[in-house]
Amino acid sequence: MERRYNRRVRLRGLFLLLAILSAALACDLPVAAPTPVLPTPQILQATATPGATQSVTPTPDARYADLTIAALAARGYGGGAIADLGVMEQTGSFTRHFISYPSDGLNIAGFANMPNRAGPLPVVILLHGYIEPEEYETVAYTRIYADWLAGAGFIVLHPNLRNYPPSDNGPNLFRVGFAVDVLNLIEIVRETAGLPGLLAAADPERIGLWGHSMGGGIILRVLAVGAPVDAAVVYGAMSGDEQRNFDHIFTNLSEQQRGLEERAAFVDAPLGEISPIYFYERITVPVSIHHGDADPVVPVQWSQELCARLAELGKTVECYFYEGEGHNLFGWDEYLLMQRTIEFFGRYLVGEP
């Protein structure tokens, strides 16, 4: 869904550079109030009408026993290290490296932006949204966000995730494999930060997550599992409700071409045990939510409900909704997104405004 924006990256980068040079370093930016508190969601059946709820006691289903939030929380992650496969690009403020790392027997590729600063530096893991795998490029449309964060002094790790070349292919029902790749990367950072190698300047105790669209949905699962991170930004994120995601992807976003494997394997199966939305009480870190209120790809209502639910649970959450903007923000609103992101990570990863 994001590939249409790739050609506009260079123009956006020019605008954002001008904005950085001209804008103040800090602004008094209002936080949008959350929408009214929603009822605690119930478990959805895979055959339910989209948006409907059924009061069903969740029971483990052997068909997806390894995919549940409980199973992901109970298993281990990490092992190995990030391999530095060479310099891709050098700028005045950071160096981009081609990287790979192991994840459950798969080789996951990506890039790392390493600031030209002395450590220890906080780390942000940045996740791209859905792109047709055959059209994916390692330095994707999310490069601009990674570059901005690196320029502000954050080490940025941008994995391709499984099934996006040149990463290996692997199982990924309900995008759980993507979450596993991120959870493995988080633990590898914690295990190897500060040691000789690419992450010598990284701080293992200061890790943030940033994700757009599908990447934001991956983050919701990672947070529900209880990953040891310190802050998260979700931008135009998919839902934490897997029934809702399935219906939307299958019917609205892919003309019934994506989700066929899930549809065949999980018909009539309750999806509550694998849906992060029913485990938001497990989230322990501050979350910053961003969404265009005219998004034609991912309904803004999903982020409004996420904002309200986290507030209801007493979580630290800030919410921004951008008037008239679509799935990808442009111009001044995109600048605000990243200024707010840097200020947010400054508070919770650096301890400074």
> Block means of pLDDT (10 residues each) for the chain, length 353 residues?
40 45 37 37 31 39 82 96 97 97 98 96 95 83 96 97 94 92 98 96 97 96 97 96 82 67 63 90 97 95 96 97 96 96 97 73
How high is the pLDDT of residue 56? 35
pLDDT score of 135: 81
Whole-number Å distance between alpha carbons of 242 and 245: 5
CA angle 168, 169, 171 (to 5 degrees): 135
Q: For residue range 143-184, what is the model confidence (pLDDT) as tens digits?
A: 999 999 999 999 999 999 999 999 999 999 888 999 999 999
Q: What's the CA gap between 156 and 167, in Å, rounded?
A: 18
Nearby residues of 170 by Cβ (< 8 Å), 6 or more positions away: 104, 105, 106, 162, 163, 177
The reported pLDDT for the residue numbered 304 is 97
- Of the candidates 146, 129, 103, the one whose C-alpha atom is nearest the C-alpha of residue 211 is 129
User: How does strand 106-115 pair with strand 317-322?
Assistant: unpaired
Query: Using omega within 30 degrees of 0 as the cis cutoff, is the peptide bond preceding 166 cis?
Result: yes
Bridge partners for 47 per DSSP: none
CATH number, residue 234: 3.40.50.1820
Domain range for 164: 3-350
For residue 231, give the H/E element and its range.
strand 231-235
Cβ distance 174 to 242 under 8 Å? Answer: yes
Total domains in the fold of the chain: 1
User: pTM for the full model?
Assistant: 0.83
